[in-house]
Amino acid sequence: MLFTAKLSDMPVEAESRIIIRFQDCDPLMHLNNSKYFDYFFNAREDQVSKLYGFSFEAMFRELRTSWVVYQHQIAYVRPARISEWVRITSRVIFYNEDTMVTEYFMTNDLRTELKTMLWTTSKHISVTTGQRVPHPQEVMDYLAATCVPGLDFPNLKFNERIHSVKQELVTD
């Protein structure tokens, strides 16, 4: 069993509160561009473990499958600064039989300022062959339960989505 949470209890959106570490910053005291990926991926791993009872290691071991990154789109809107508390939100915004797109964004602690947005497209692969394979039903059920409803992803443009998220932050 890959997920210990019931599908009906799985939230669509996950959030973490994190401090920007000195060691991850550049001489201007901004989070180094490459470190945003670490912050996003570590937050997502913690979030899915806590909220859904999911483990990437269990998927690898039980199904002999994994997701591999196919593509990233990232926008650095405002810098995250040394010792600043930020919030990282992650959510699935698209999936099909062998693909998943996860949206990440970082805001200030009050969720009033967008700092960074990332879309990561992942492909589901067999760890034995390295070839793409369809998601098993259990994973498809999870994706259906946690994907943001009402987004027309094939027609969604990244820059328009940045604007939408900024608007969400203003109205919240």
Q: Which helix (H) or strand (E) holds 42?
A: helix 35-52
- The CATH number covering residue 126 comes to 3.10.129.10
Domain of residue 89 covers 10-171
pLDDT at 163: 97
User: Is 69 within the bounds of a domain?
Assistant: yes
Q: What is the DSSP letter of 153?
A: G
Give me the amino acid identity at 154: P
| Token pair 């203003």: residue | 170
Distance of CA 114 to the CA centre of its chain: 15
| Token pair 């698209």: residue | 94
pLDDT in tens, 24-66: 999 999 999 999 999 999 999 999 999 999 988 889 999 999 9
User: Is 4 within the bounds of a domain?
Assistant: no
| Structural domains in the chain (count) | 1
Per-residue pLDDT of the chain (172 residues; tens, 9 = 90+): 688 888 888 999 999 999 999 999 999 999 999 999 999 999 999 999 999 999 888 899 999 999 999 999 999 999 999 999 999 999 999 999 999 999 999 999 999 999 999 999 999 999 999 999 999 999 999 999 999 999 999 999 999 999 999 999 988 7
